[in-house]
A and B are shown apart, each in its own frame.
Chain A
């Protein structure tokens, strides 16, 4: 196997803020049946950032974990891409702060990416291309969001916070990236205009012509081009706006639910947007065995899906236990009521 064939993940790290709000608590405020909302979405609670956390701070935390896991020299990281739809600055990159905080600067390229919930996986593809073409030694791709839902809107039940960082390289690879491809169309199912505080969406339009069409098309296409079928994969990971969508997608594609359930962190932290499919991937990497294979398909509104096939190597065993797992972050939590939630998310303006 050549170095090009061996390119893949050399380390990964996540960060999930410790605060949670239960779906029933949000439903209580807006006069909705909490139990029915919870059951309908398949989401119990969602994560909330602390008052001094944002997309930049959680990106730094996740990337510190990834670098520690890979034991990589920051000087070897020559590309930093941060995918998010909640960059704290409209003009001023998140990626430069993340690079500086990890001592990756100054000999590196860095950029912020935006493609709704799939900007992080777009960063993986960019790093993969640059490592494979020997332009860089190691690339850092981050998906991170502190997402906002308009009060009383359906999105408020799930819009949450989390980050996942992947280091892409070709030495000491823990999971090779065997193939990737994308499926993209102009489908306006979800958007936020410049200066608008909250995103808008097309309601039911976000389902069939948007999420399902793109995720299923990308999954079918990558399996066709690699001559694989659901039986060839031990786990499958999809973007997780709720539990319902990825479970339905798995069923439509012929994957048993046992192959998708280990990735479904959305039940406990909500939809972390750009981090969603990547945290699902990290949850699977935490428990996977060498030689197992993963199919991952992200989804970003607007719309597009990035599909990846990973194969796990023996190297992964050497890197376990060095940084907190996804489960560790899920377990450490503190509940807030709706009043504190509005304060944490800046919905109360203090002048």
Chain B
């Protein structure tokens, strides 16, 4: 990711900033300025709560360039509590731990690094909800 592009997206990456339509209440991630449902413009920024559930997932063994040292890793589509879905990596899980509907929460991690001298991109990934107490019986 280029430096200006990462910088423009930093609030979405760092704290799940999207947008909400004041008129019809629909949430968007990533954020947008005009509502797709009611065509209202000038949507306000909204910080998502950072909790949701796994809509679907896949374990990646053949990754794109730059992710070779992390395989296997879990790529998932997470449905946020407010409604929008996003693609993200699941962390703090091993194969067999993940299932559809599993509650998850925001985790701050390194996304990529341009070699040893380039910029490091940080942002959201997701992990089991109530980490590190997620395995304890209620």
On A, residues with C-beta under 8 Å from B are 18, 50-54, 56-57, 60-61, 64, 88-89, 97, 100-103, 324, 328-329, 331-332, 343, 350
CA distance A51 to B112 in the complex (A): 11
**A97–B133 CB distance below 8 A:** no
Residues on B lying within 8 angstroms of A by beta carbon are 10-11, 14-15, 47, 68-70, 91-92, 107-111, 120, 122, 125, 131-133, 135
A342 CA to B68 CA, complexed, in Å: 16
Other-chain contact of B120, A89, A328, A332 (Cβ < 8 Å):
A89
Q: Closest chain B residue to A332 by CB distance?
A: B132
Identify the interface centre among B15, B108, B125: most chain A CB within 10 Å of its CB: B108
Q: Are A350 and B132 in contact (CB under 8 A)?
A: no
Residue of B91, B108, B122 touching A64 (CB-CB under 8 A): B108
Given known A101-B122, A329-B132, contact A60–B108 (CB-CB < 8 A):
yes
Complex formed: what's the CA distance from A324 to B133 in Å?
8
> In the complex, A324→B47 CA distance in Å?
22
In the bound complex, CA of A71 to CA of B80 (Å) = 23
Q: Is the CB of B133 within 8 A of A103?
A: no
Contact check, A103 vs B47: say whether CB atoms are below 8 A apart. yes
Bound-complex Cα distance A53 to B69 (A): 14
Contact status B110-A332, CB under 8 Å: no
Contact B132 A328 (CB under 8 A): yes
B15 to chain A minimum Cβ distance, whole angstroms, is 6
Report 6 cross-chain contacts, Cβ distance below 8 Å, ordered by A residue: A52-B110, A53-B110, A61-B108, A100-B10, A324-B131, A332-B131
Q: Are A332 and B133 in contact (CB under 8 A)?
A: yes
B10 contacts which chain A residues (CB < 8 A)?
A: 100
- By a CB distance below 8 angstroms, the chain A residues around B47 are 103
The answer to whether B125 and A331 touch across the interface, beta carbons within 8 angstroms, is no
Q: Do B132 and A324 touch (CB < 8 A)?
A: yes
Q: What is the CA–CA distance of A50 and B73 in the complex, to the nearest angstrom? A: 12
Q: Nearest Cβ distance between residue B103 and chain A, in whole angstroms?
A: 16
Q: Check A328–B133 contact: CB distance below 8 A.
A: yes
Q: How far is the CB of A144 from chain B (nearest CB, A)?
A: 12
Report chain A residues within 8 Å CB of B111. Answer: 52
User: How many whole Å from A105's CB to the nearest CB in chain B?
Assistant: 9
Q: How far apart are the CA atoms of A343 and B125 in the complex, in Å?
A: 21
